[in-house]
């Protein structure tokens, strides 16, 4: 079963102006940075500033750092009403740029909307830590939550961008190892195709306002390096009959990774799973993180939380 819920037919004026401004300012810089020769360090500063400026932390948020049993991250809690359930959050930005700190605003607002504490994994970044370090860090964090007493059904895996690839890798690894699956997976603008073939095709129809597919591919290669893109943990395939959690996906209509979101939906549904996909018109990549320039951001998080509430427990 799959469904796409009705959404506004057009993005807000502020969102569309923000996309235009981003295309004229940020994209030329992001598409020309020398990734692999220090460009990623510049990108970390620029994206960090933008995330803090456009996606502030929710009022009353509590943050607690964790460095335990090889698991590094932070608990982010805002208006928590259910402490026996948890969100495991996997941040994005091509495995090389962002962190738990950069995503504190998004995690805090997701915590507020769901009423759940969020554990944001501070996985190791490329190029210092190439594939499969980040994926291994995520798997370790999931098993750590299980060891803390959380039932699999009470864990929601959420993430954005490269966090989408990490989330699907985790789910497939769980299936291979017969580890119980999380109750649900909630993804914002997931990256699935690390060759950016899908994104490049989409880009020809509508250029992404944030970054070009060529530049994004170069950034991601800091993580994959010389690995073949066809190895199983990079080109993720979902076999028919694989036991899957419920998937909830949101993507922006203005971004090239909407093609990846549609591809992931098809992978899940073709394997017999359940997926809801929402494509928000005129929105940029991970617009949910940018409420100051995208008025739809908090509404999207609220809708994701409402869909999550409808997921039946197994």
Alpha helices in the chain (DSSP H): 13-30, 39-54, 104-114, 133-147, 162-177, 197-205, 213-224, 258-270, 296-309
15: which residues sit within 8 A by CB, 6+ positions away? 282, 283, 284, 287, 293, 294, 295, 296
How many CB atoms are closer than 10 A to CB 194? Answer: 23
Residue at token pair 């603008």: 189
* Catalytic entry in 99, 108, 161, 212: 161
Beta bridge partner(s), residue 156: 87, 184
Confirm whether 161 is a catalytic residue: yes
Cα distance between residue 218 and residue 154, in whole Å = 37
CA-to-CA dists, residue 38 to 4, 20, 127, 212, 215, angstroms = 41, 27, 10, 19, 14
Q: Which of 93, 69, 85 is nearest to 189 (CA)?
A: 93
Q: What is the largest CA-CA distance in the chain?
A: 48
Cα distance between residue 18 and residue 50, in whole Å = 12
8 A C-beta contact, residue 43 and residue 125: no
8 A C-beta contact, residue 58 and residue 291: no
Residue 110 DSSP symbol: H
Residues with a catalytic annotation lie at 161
């Amino acid at each position: 079963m799959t469904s796409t819920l009705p959404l506004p037919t057009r993005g807000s004026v502020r969102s569309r102006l923000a996309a235009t401004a981003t295309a004229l300012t940020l994209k030329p810089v992001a598409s020309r940075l020398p990734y692999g020769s220090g460009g990623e360090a510049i990108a970390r500063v620029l994206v960090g500033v933008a995330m803090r400026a456009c996606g502030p932390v929710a009022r009353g948020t509590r943050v607690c750092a964790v460095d335990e049993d090889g698991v590094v991250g932070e608990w982010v809690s805002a208006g928590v009403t259910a402490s026996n359930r948890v969100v495991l959050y996997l941040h994005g930005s091509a495995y090389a740029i962002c962190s738990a700190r950069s995503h504190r605003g998004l995690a805090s607002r997701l915590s507020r909307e769901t009423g759940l504490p969020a554990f944001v994994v501070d996985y190791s970044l490329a190029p210092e830590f190439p594939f499969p370090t980040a994926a291994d860090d995520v798997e370790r964090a999931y098993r750590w939550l299980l060891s803390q007493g959380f039932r699999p059904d009470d864990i929601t895996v959420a993430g954005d961008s490269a966090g989408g690839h990490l989330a699907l890798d985790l789910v497939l690894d769980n299936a291979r190892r017969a580890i119980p699956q999380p109750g649900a997976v909630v993804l914002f603008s997931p990256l699935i195709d690390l060759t950016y073939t899908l994104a490049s095709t989409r880009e020809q129809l509508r250029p992404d306002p944030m970054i070009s597919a060529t530049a994004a591919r170069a950034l991601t290669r800091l993580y994959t390096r010389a690995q073949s893109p066809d190895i199983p943990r990079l080109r993720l395939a979902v076999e028919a009959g694989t036991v899957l959690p419920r998937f909830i996906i949101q993507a922006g209509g203005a971004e090239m990774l909407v093609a990846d979101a549609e591809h992931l939906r098809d992978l899940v549904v073709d394997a017999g799973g359940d997926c809801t996909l929402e494509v928000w018109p005129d929105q940029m990549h991970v617009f949910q993180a940018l409420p100051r320039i995208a008025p739809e951001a908090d509404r999207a998080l609220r809708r994701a939380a409402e869909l999550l509430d409808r997921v039946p427990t197994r």
